[in-house]
Amino acid sequence: MNVISRGVRNAFRNNIRTLSVVVILGLSIALALSMLLAHQAVNKKIENIKSSEGNTITVSPAGVRGFQGGGNPLTQTQLNGVSNLAHVDTIEESLNDRLTSSDTNLQSSVQLGQLGQRFATNFGGGSGTISGNSSFNPADFTPPVTVLGSNNPTDLANTQGGGTFTLKSGAVFSSTSSDDVALVGTALASKNNLSVGSTFTAYNTTIKVVGIFSSGNDFSNGLLVMPLKTLQTLSSQPGDITSAVVTVDSVSNVNSVTSAVKSKLGSAADVTSSVDQAQTSIDSLNSIKNISVYSLIGAVVAGAVIIFLVMLMIVRERRREIGVFKAIGASNVKIVSQFMVEAVTLTILAAVIGILISLAAADPITRTLVNNSTNSSSTTSSVQTPGFGASGGVGGGGFARLSQQAGTGNGSTFVSSGSGIGRVRNNITNIHAVVSWNIVLYGLSAAILIALVGSGIASWSIAKVRPAEVLRTE
């Protein structure tokens, strides 16, 4: 009987021990593979965040926040200079405006309530007046319709309400459109009985409704979204831009590009970046990666110790058998090889169990690590978005950019989050451990290598004894 077949048979000489060793070693391998998969998933997520998250810079006219503050609008010429800077991928431009009853036949869907009436009372004059009109009654005040002109109509991050853009019907106009068309929020559409194909008047022009959208909040559901070029022309603001979002090719270049933009625009603009939010995500992910590395090392060490101790016990039990083999001419290499085959057999069986367990457990383990890290981050940090307080829906999130796009077309959802912590949590929790064959083969190879080394050391120490000494003690 050759060395391989004898080693395989020896692995099953004691069924209870074989089962115990295989199960314990399998759990160790499962933990090691799960940690390896978690480490890989976290690394991929970090690279994704560096390339697509936190790589935006918000540019707004100096002193402007929401509908408050002064300052002059930015110009297309200024932003063209920004677009030519190194590491700048795209620039999302928008123009905010408001339509009063003299500008449109639309009625605002915003319900003033107590806060809104308070805002209206102090809108243009002292208490009970507006623009010097002493007969003004706050209850009769009609809030304006907020209009957003944008070359990225599915992104609501630069509106006061923010929210998640979900197209309910119709289609989204192109980023370069200059047609007299608009996307209408569900609340505004309901208030004015509008549907896809309907028309309304704004700026003495007939505008066609091409899509109805929902944002997830009352304010943005009363929003009117038009092509940037169209709003610039109709509102007599050619080339004017009230907000821009610069996308950089990598988060590692955000700081340098931010400095370049500030230098380019000077005192004409307020420039802020989202690198802090991305760094928060990366820091949390790095802590998860460290945990996975330590757990991986611990699982590998545990597996190696298990193999070594088991094989050391088995070898010592078979001292007499080793002496007999050596007495009939077996070499040390054959004896050691037999025990190594036995160890590899046990390891392969354990690896099968470990791989099956890791297939089911890798993703839940990764999610558990992520949730624990996220909860820890949430209790120790907070992010606030600049802006002014909402008055019956008028106001809100300012121009801070915390958004993520996730699709296009009918029924699609375009995410635009307004909470820093929520944004960080979304970045981190949206992570999955994907089991691939190269990881499985890598783990199996590492387990077999450990088995060979562990069994080889254990058996070599016994195989060197002389047959006469072994047989005499027996």
Task: Of 38-52, 59-73, 245-259, give the range with the top mean pLDDT.
Answer: 245-259
| Residue 27 scores a pLDDT above 70 | yes
Residues 191 and 313 in one domain: no
Is residue 201 within 8 Å of 207, Cβ to Cβ?
Answer: yes
CA–CA gap between residue 15 and residue 18 (Å, rounded) = 5
Residues 40 and 96 in one domain: no
Element (H, E) at 449: helix 437-463
Question: C-alpha angle with apex 221: 413 to 392, nearest 5 degrees?
Answer: 140
Residues 81 and 206 in one domain: yes
Whole-number Cα distances in Å, 86 to 45, 79, 92, 259, 328: 25, 14, 17, 12, 78
How many domains is the chain built from? 2
Residues 40 and 69 in one domain: no
Give how far the C-alpha of residue 218 lies from the chain's centroid of Cα atoms, to the nearest Å: 26
Residues 61 and 190 in one domain: yes
Which positions ≥6 away from 374 have C-beta within 8 Å?
Answer: 284, 424, 425, 428, 429
Could you tell me what percent of the chain has a pLDDT over 90? Answer: 16
Residues 152 and 301 in one domain: no
φ, ψ (nearest 5 deg) of residue 235: -90, 10
Domain limit, last residue, from 254, 273, 292:
273
Which tens digits make up the pLDDT trace of 347-389? 888 888 888 888 787 777 777 776 665 555 444 443 333 333 3
Residue 351: inside a domain: yes
CA–CA gap between residue 460 and residue 308 (Å, rounded) = 12
Check residues 451 and 94 and name the one with the higher pLDDT: 94
Q: How confident is the model at residue 140 (pLDDT cuts 50, 70, 90)?
A: low
Which tens digits make up the pLDDT trace of 316-325? 777 777 777 7
Domain limit, last residue, from 222, 243, 273:
273
Residues 242 and 294 in one domain: no
Which tens digits make up the pLDDT trace of 179-229? 999 999 999 999 999 999 999 999 999 999 999 999 888 878 889 999 999
Residue numbers of the domain that contains 177: 55-108+143-273
Check residues 136 and 260 and name the one with the higher pLDDT: 260
SS3 state of residue 248: strand
Residue 268: inside a domain: yes
Check residues 463 and 320 and name the one with the higher pLDDT: 320
Which tens digits make up the pLDDT trace of 294-314? 888 888 888 888 888 888 888
pLDDT of residue 208: 96
Residues 175 and 322 in one domain: no
- Please state, as a whole number, how many other Cβ atoms lie within 10 Å of the Cβ of residue 133: 11
- Structure token digits, residue 92: 């999302």
CA–CA gap between residue 88 and residue 248 (Å, rounded) = 5
Residues 301 and 156 in one domain: no
SS3 state of residue 323: helix
pLDDT of residue 131: 44
Residue with tokens 């699982």, as numbered in its chain: 299
Check residues 274 and 172 and name the one with the higher pLDDT: 172
Domain limit, last residue, from 273, 294, 309:
273
pLDDT of residue 350: 87
Check residues 85 and 49 and name the one with the higher pLDDT: 85
Give how far the C-alpha of residue 171 lies from the chain's centroid of Cα atoms, to the nearest Å: 27
Q: 3-state SS of the chain: helix, strand, coil percent to 5?
A: 50, 15, 30
pLDDT of residue 474: 53
The identity of residue 458, as a single letter, is A
pLDDT of residue 382: 39
Residues 60 and 207 in one domain: yes
Residues 186 and 230 in one domain: yes
Residues 231 and 349 in one domain: no
